[in-house]
């Protein structure tokens, strides 16, 4: 158990803070919107770690009109005494020393999302100013700032204005409040996105049952009461939230928990009538998008239990059905959350858990937990529904196998026919090549003429593909447009997908900026998300952004992507300008299409990413699923197709 006392002795200093401002990407990934929010996540994660270890019950996040943000918790408060090694207060150590924190051992934080001594100091280093208040009988305060040292001709980052001060103001509060303003000299934008923060706090509330997270956006209403995120059901509520709008096979998600060898294990799942498998895993509140040993343990435990259940309970023609693990996971939505001491992750992104001891612990917990659930006779209908779904999945798996064999048998002629639509590039270096999936033959013709033939391939779509969200894999495999895309990319599909066989580094969707164009874009992104998700995860999928306007006068030409840019272009071109509104890509000549959309030096691309996998899953269901009313509500609240950064599944450029 984590001890209740927390002093400066508990903070270990590994290395002084160095060059964070010079190379911020090394610490926060980028200086774009993702990096901006990352410095907020670091402070939020510290507060949540206090709650996750039983020391806090409430975290308040606020955004202010001056561009700053604050995070306050009711935990123990940062150490205010003098650090024995550094000779300065614990607060100053935390915010000025890289790799300094109380989480490098398990005495203060049994379970934490990482060595967050890095995060607090990096947030300070990349802020114009940062203020800390510690509530511990009295209020302690300290301020830091980043300023230009003209003598040294450099920015001094996160420097203390003065040592930690005991204000002498008595308080019954306890905890820490950190407020900071991101530095515009570092970030491309310093405007926090409220929707992004809401998604993060909602997910965090599900993963920390009973903890209250409050979000107040005071930028327009300084008296806002805020939004409260609090879940008494935890990850069981999370599964229900993700499945909202889907047709579920049984009313309540199944749930079990266990503690094995100091590993805290929770899992919840529910099946839908859909065709996709959605397993979301977390370690110490960190999403592990690539899974890991906890993910494998859950899947193997589920397979073993349900195989044994089938042998004992299936009768008649279904008795002896040969299942594999995938059959039991078709249509599943599952959340696995584990807390592990000294969690070891594979790769820089912490996307995959590597602790080998976690797999057998989770597998055992899954089998034990499901045995307890199945022993309750009230759950009989639930397992009947799961078995019925698995039987259907096993049959469809066999049908898919036969379809693929049939396709392979005629692959020569069929491939030639399908790829007859493709204007391929001459280079065979996949890392340098890109393919444009273009809406319509007219735009496809211009793109073929205007492209760089060595490295750019053009694949025109002659019809609208089917909505993969509502169709089975067999139906997808039989669709002409998807068959063409699959053949062109060379990766295979679904469980046969092989990223190493990808023929193009960039897969670029190029559609008109109108209703049909956005629909085609959504259909293609849904297909990639459902059956080639690794393409998105590895950063290969892009959306081309053709301009809406051409503003010109004689030989002066400016292109604009929205109304605001059009006004600027008009001012730049000057009196006597003319404006052309492009209704579609087909209206552009080959030269115009090259200059605006194909040329790597001048074009604008939007990279599709999945920052929050569970939220992306939910939004795909809303936008492409069967619940028209839920889709209408979301579009009315969020849609603004004239903005580059407002896109169907919350992609980031």
Q: Which of 516, 538, 563, 567 is catalytic?
A: 516
Length of the chain: 653
Q: What is the pLDDT of residue 119?
A: 77
The domain 235-402 is classified under which CATH number: 3.30.70.1400, 3.30.230.10, 1.10.10.10, 3.40.50.720? Answer: 3.30.230.10
Give the pLDDT confidence of 451-461 residue by residue, as tens digits: 999 999 999 98
Q: Are 265 and 259 in contact (CB under 8 A)?
A: yes
pLDDT band at 631 (very low <50, low <70, confident <90, very high): confident
Q: Are 396 and 473 in contact (CB under 8 A)?
A: yes
Q: Among 7-16, 290-299, 383-392, 508-517, which is the least confidently predicted range?
A: 7-16
CB atoms within 10 A of CB 186: 22
At residue 97, does pLDDT exceed 60?
yes
Q: Which CATH architecture has domain 410-546+592-638?
A: 3-Layer(aba) Sandwich (3.40)
With residues binned 3-state (H G I as helix, E B as strand, rest as coil), the percentages for the chain, rounded to 5, are: 40, 25, 35
Assess whether 74 carries a catalytic annotation.
Answer: no
pLDDT band at 196 (very low <50, low <70, confident <90, very high): very high
* Structure tokens, 136: 């511990």
Beta-bridge partners for 337: 266, 282
C-alpha dihedral (642, 34, 535, 644), degrees to nearest 10: 10
Q: Are 421 and 495 in contact (CB under 8 A)?
A: no
Q: What is the pLDDT of residue 1?
A: 53
Q: What is the pLDDT of residue 411?
A: 57
137: phi then psi, degrees, rounded to nearest 5:
70, -50
CB atoms within 10 A of CB 27: 21
Q: Which of 16, 66, 441, 514 is catalytic?
A: 514
Q: What is the pLDDT of residue 51?
A: 87
Q: What is the pLDDT of residue 650?
A: 32
Q: Among 16-30, 415-429, 589-603, which is the least confidently predicted range?
A: 16-30
Query: Between these two residues, 407 and 381, which has the higher pLDDT value?
Result: 381
At residue 74, does pLDDT exceed 90?
yes
pLDDT band at 18 (very low <50, low <70, confident <90, very high): low
Q: What is the arithmetic mean of pLDDT over 442-467? A: 91
pLDDT band at 104 (very low <50, low <70, confident <90, very high): very low
At residue 647, does pLDDT exceed 70?
no
Q: Which of 512, 565, 595, 648 is catalytic?
A: 512
Question: 3-state SS of 205-264?
Answer: HHHCCCCEEEEEECCCCCCCCCEEECCCCCHHHHHHHHCCCCCECCCCCEEEEEEECCEE
Q: Among 155-164, 181-190, 528-537, 625-634, which is the least confidently predicted range?
A: 625-634
Report d(CA 533, CA 531) in Å as an integer: 6
Q: What is the pLDDT of residue 634?
A: 82
Assess whether 516 carries a catalytic annotation.
Answer: yes
How many percent of the chain have pLDDT more than 70? 89
Q: What is the pLDDT of residue 116?
A: 38
Give the pLDDT confidence of 287-346 residue by residue, as tens digits: 888 899 999 999 999 999 999 999 999 999 999 889 999 999 999 999 999 999 888 887
Report d(CA 283, CA 294) in Å as an integer: 8
Nearest residue to 302 (alpha-carbon basis) of 278, 331, 267, 273: 267
Assess whether 512 carries a catalytic annotation.
Answer: yes
Q: What is the pLDDT of residue 610?
A: 85
Q: Among 131-135, 194-198, 588-592, which is the least confidently predicted range?
A: 588-592
- Give me the helices (H) in 277-376, please: 293-313, 325-329, 358-374
Entry pTM:
0.84
pLDDT band at 347 (very low <50, low <70, confident <90, very high): low
Q: Where are the domains of the chain?
A: 8-229, 235-402, 410-546+592-638, 549-581
Across the chain, what does the average pLDDT equal? 87
Beta-bridge partners for 549: 560, 581
Give the pLDDT confidence of 480-533 residue by residue, as tens digits: 899 899 999 999 988 889 999 999 999 999 998 778 888 899 999 999 999 999
Using only C-alpha atoms, the chain has a radius of gyration, in whole angstroms, of 27
Report d(CA 28, CA 35) in Å as an integer: 5
Q: What is the arithmetic mean of pLDDT over 473-484? A: 89
How many percent of the chain have pLDDT more than 90? 58
At residue 407, does pLDDT exceed 70?
no
Positive or negative CA dihedral for 170, 176, 179, 185?
Answer: positive
* Structure tokens, 6: 């927390």
At residue 366, does pLDDT exceed 70?
yes
Q: Which of 128, 439, 481, 615 is catalytic?
A: 439
User: In a 3-state reduction of DSSP, which class is residue 333?
Assistant: strand
Nearest residue to 526 (alpha-carbon basis) of 622, 385, 439: 622
Q: What is the arithmetic mean of pLDDT over 351-369? A: 95
Q: What is the arithmetic mean of pLDDT over 605-634? A: 87
Assess whether 308 carries a catalytic annotation.
Answer: no
Report d(CA 556, CA 493) in Å as an integer: 47
At residue 6, does pLDDT exceed 80?
no
Cβ-proximal residues to 474 (8 Å cutoff; 6+ apart), any chain: 396, 399, 400, 403
CATH classification code of 8-229: 3.30.565.10
């Amino acid at each position: 158990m984590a001890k209740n006392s927390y002093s400066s002795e508990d903070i270990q200093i590994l290395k002084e803070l160095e060059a964070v401002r010079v190379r911020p990407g090394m610490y926060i990934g980028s200086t774009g919107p993702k990096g901006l929010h990352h410095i907020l996540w670091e402070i939020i994660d510290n507060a949540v770690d206090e709650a996750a270890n039983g020391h806090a019950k409430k975290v308040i996040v606020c955004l202010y009109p001056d561009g700053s943000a604050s995070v306050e918790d009711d935990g123990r408060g940062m150490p205010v005494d003098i650090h024995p090694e550094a000779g300065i207060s614990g607060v100053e150590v935390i915010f000025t020393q890289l790799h300094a924190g109380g989480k490098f051992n398990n005495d203060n934080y049994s379970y934490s999302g990482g060595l967050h001594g890095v995060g607090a100091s990096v947030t300070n280093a990349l802020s114009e100013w940062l203020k800390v208040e510690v509530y511990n009988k009295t209020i302690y305060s300290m301020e830091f700032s980043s300023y230009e040292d003209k003598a040294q001709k450099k920015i001094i980052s996160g420097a203390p204005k003065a040592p930690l001060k005991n204000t002498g103001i008595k308080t019954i509060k306890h905890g820490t409040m950190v407020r900071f303003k991101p530095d515009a000299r570092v970030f491309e934008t310093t405007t926090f996105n409220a929707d992004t923060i809401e998604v993060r706090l909602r997910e965090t509330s599900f993963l920390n049952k009973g903890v209250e997270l409050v979000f107040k956006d005071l930028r327009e209403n300084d008296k806002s009461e805020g939004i409260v995120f609090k879940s008494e059901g935890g990850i069981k509520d999370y599964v229900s939230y993700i499945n909202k709008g889907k047709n579920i096979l049984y009313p309540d998600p199944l749930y079990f928990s266990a503690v094995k060898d100091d590993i805290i294990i929770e899992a919840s799942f529910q099946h839908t009538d859909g065709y996709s498998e959605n397993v979301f895993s977390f370690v110490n509140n960190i999403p592990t998008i690539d899974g890991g040993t906890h993910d494998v343990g859950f899947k193997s435990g589920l397979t073993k239990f349900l195989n044994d259940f089938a042998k004992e309970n299936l009768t008649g023609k279904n008795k002896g059905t040969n299942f594999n693990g995938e059959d039991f996971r078709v249509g599943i939505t599952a959340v696995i959350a584990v807390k592990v001491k000294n969690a070891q992750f594979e790769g820089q992104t912490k996307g995959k858990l590597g602790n080998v001891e976690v797999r057998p612990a989770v597998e055992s917990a899954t089998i034990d937990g499901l045995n307890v659930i199945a022993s309750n006779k009230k759950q009989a209908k639930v397992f009947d529904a799961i078995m019925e779904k698995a039987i259907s999945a096993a049959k469809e798996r066999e049908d898919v196998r036969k379809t693929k064999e049939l396709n392979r048998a005629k692959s020569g002629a069929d491939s030639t026919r399908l790829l007859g639509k493709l204007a391929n590039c001459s280079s065979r270096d996949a890392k340098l090549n890109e393919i444009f999936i273009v809406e319509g033959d007219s735009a496809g013709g211009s793109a073929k003429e205007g492209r760089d033939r060595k490295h750019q391939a053009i694949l025109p779509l002659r019809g609208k593909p089917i909505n993969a969200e509502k169709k089975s894999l067999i139906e997808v495999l039989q669709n002409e447009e998807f068959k063409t895309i699959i053949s062109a990319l060379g990766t295979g599909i679904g469980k046969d997908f092989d990223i190493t066989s990808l023929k193009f580094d960039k897969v670029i969707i190029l559609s008109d900026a109108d209703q049909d164009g956005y629909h085609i874009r959504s259909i293609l992104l849904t297909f990639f998300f459902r059956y080639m998700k690794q393409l998105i995860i590895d950063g290969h999928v892009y959306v081309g952004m053709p301009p809406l306007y051409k503003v010109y006068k004689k030989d002066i030409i400016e292109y604009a992507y929205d109304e605001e840019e059009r006004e600027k272009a008009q001012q730049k071109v000057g009196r006597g300008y003319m404006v052309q509104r492009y209704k579609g890509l087909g209206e552009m000549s080959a030269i115009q299409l090259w200059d605006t959309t194909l040329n790597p030096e001048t074009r604008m691309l939007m990279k599709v990413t999945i920052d929050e996998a569970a939220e992306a899953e939910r939004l795909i269901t809303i936008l492409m699923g069967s619940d028209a009313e839920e889709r209408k509500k979301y579009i009315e609240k969020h849609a603004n197709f004239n903005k580059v950064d407002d896109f169907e599944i919350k992609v980031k450029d």
